[in-house]
Copies of this chain bind each other. A is one copy, B any other.
Amino acid sequence: MIETVTIDIQRASQLLKLLGDPTRLTMMRLLKTHECCVCEFVEIFNMSQPAISQHLRKLKDIKVVKEERRGQWIFFSINKSHEDYPFIQSILEQLPEQNESIARLEAQGLRVCCK
């Protein structure tokens, strides 16, 4: 008998609500394959630093991302230990890669990081 993993509907709707924003969803898709810091997101989304910071805070609040300071930068990554990581992952893997964003950053010399 196969046990299908399920997620409580309240928690699921909370997660979907957070992912239901193009900026945050793209962030999550990017973080699926790349660690990024705030200033990189600022470039990628062409959005103000506080706006980016506030989006990241929401993702941090429900612990779907984690942060790690390295020198003056804070790198974000997906929290693979999150109870609902399989659910999140199943969504993200259906989204197209966002490699152009990263490539553009690198072309501009703005990747890894924030010179």
Contact = CB atoms under 8 A, between A and B. Distances in A.
Interface residues on A, range: 20 to 34
B5 A94 contact: yes
A26 interface: yes
Contact of A94 (B12, B93, B98): B12
A96 interface: yes
A50 interface: no
Contacts of A71: none
Nearest to A19: B16
Contact of A9 (B9, B26, B87): B26
A14 B14 CA distance: 15
Nearest to A98: B9
